[in-house]
């Protein structure tokens, strides 16, 4: 879910495991700053609280993962977001960490961020992002749960506690 702490935990985990971290949200926000047709298109979609199309997302992520620094592993943040992306992603997934946070907590976190938030963090856009998450990403969570790859963590605890819980479970599963 947006605001669940994916970036924080992803960066901590990447440092601990000594693998690169790749956030689709950061990639899309960078593209949205470009004065190109794709940049403007992505900016409009993001500001409306919607998701970038599966085909465009898969294309962009796959291109990034061809880079040399990702050849020995990586932490992906915010991908796959839809069932179609999960089913069509060719690079494979070892484990999926789902930081479970209530809608109410997400709304509060995003609306009152200390850093002033993002351009697409209007109350209306935040609500839309939560709605879109449930519509498109809940099925992804179910998909990886059925495959036995899902690690669900309570994301409403302190950052260090969440990190310890993730590491504990990854070691139990030999990852």
User: Can you give the residue ranges of every domain in the chain?
Assistant: 6-172
Q: Is the pTM of this model over 0.85?
A: no
- Exposure string over 62-101, b if 16+ CB within 10 A, otherwise e: eebbeeeeeeeebbbbbbbbbbbbbeebeeeeeebbbbeb
Q: What is the pLDDT of residue 140?
A: 96
Q: Which segments in the chain show pLDDT lower than 70? A: 114-121, 172-175
Q: What is the pLDDT of residue 128?
A: 85
Q: What is the pLDDT of residue 172?
A: 40
Q: What is the pLDDT of residue 116?
A: 59
Which CATH number does 6-172 carry? Answer: 3.40.50.300
Q: What is the pLDDT of residue 118?
A: 59
Q: What is the pLDDT of residue 174?
A: 42
Q: What is the pLDDT of residue 31?
A: 92
Q: What is the pLDDT of residue 115?
A: 61
66 contacts 60 by C-beta, under 8 angstroms: no
Q: At what angle do helices 24-33 and 37-47 cross, to 10 degrees?
A: 120
């Amino acid at each position: 879910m947006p605001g669940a702490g994916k970036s924080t935990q992803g960066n901590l985990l990447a440092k601990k495991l000594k693998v690169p971290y790749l956030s689709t949200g950061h990639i899309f926000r960078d593209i949205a700053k470009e004065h190109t047709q794709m940049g403007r298109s992505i900016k409009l979609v993001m500001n409306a609280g919607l998701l970038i199309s599966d085909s465009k997302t898969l294309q962009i992520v796959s291109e990034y993962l061809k880079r040399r620094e990702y050849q020995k592993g990586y932490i992906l943040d915010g991908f796959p977001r839809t069932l179609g992306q999960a089913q069509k992603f060719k690079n494979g997934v070892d484990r999926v960490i789902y930081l479970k946070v209530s809608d109410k907590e997400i709304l509060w976190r995003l609306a009152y961020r200390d850093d002033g938030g993002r351009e697409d963090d209007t109350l209306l856009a935040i609500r839309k992002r939560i709605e879109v998450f449930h519509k498109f990403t809940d099925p992804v969570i179910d998909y990886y749960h059925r495959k036995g790859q899902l690690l669900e963590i309570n994301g409403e605890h302190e950052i260090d506690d969440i990190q310890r819980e993730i590491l504990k479970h990854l070691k139990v599963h030999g990852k």
